[in-house]
Amino acid sequence: MYLFLGIVQVFLSIVLVVLILMHSGKDAGLSGAFGGGSGDGPFGGGSLVERNLNRWTVGFAIVFALNTILMLKVG
């Protein structure tokens, strides 16, 4: 069981890294580092693709965290 959860964890981590790298940068320059810049919504990007990418990223992050907790309980 622990080996299976470990394999799932590796898969989830690779998918999560790819999803995070697919995000576009919110702001460039010094103003973005201190919270300035455009605010197109609560999570930034306004397009449907960016919102769906945010949802997928959050979903995989939640599954990753739950799998981590499950691995701690089993192992």
- Would 29 be classed as within a structural domain? no
- Would 74 be classed as within a structural domain? yes
Compute the mean pLDDT over every residue in the chain, rounded to the nearest whole number.
Answer: 83
- Would 59 be classed as within a structural domain? yes
**Count of domains forming the chain:** 1
- Would 32 be classed as within a structural domain? no
Each residue of 22-52: pLDDT tens digit?
988 766 444 445 555 555 555 555 689 999 9
Domain containing 63: what range?
A: 1-22+44-75
Instruction: For 17-55, give the secondary structure using H, E and C.
Output: HHHHHHCCCCCCCHHHHCCCCCCCCCCCCCCHHHHHHHH
**Residue 24, pLDDT score:** 80
- Would 6 be classed as within a structural domain? yes
- Would 27 be classed as within a structural domain? no
- Would 38 be classed as within a structural domain? no
**Does position 12 have pLDDT exceeding 90, yes or no?**
yes
- Would 9 be classed as within a structural domain? yes
**Residue 25, pLDDT score:** 76
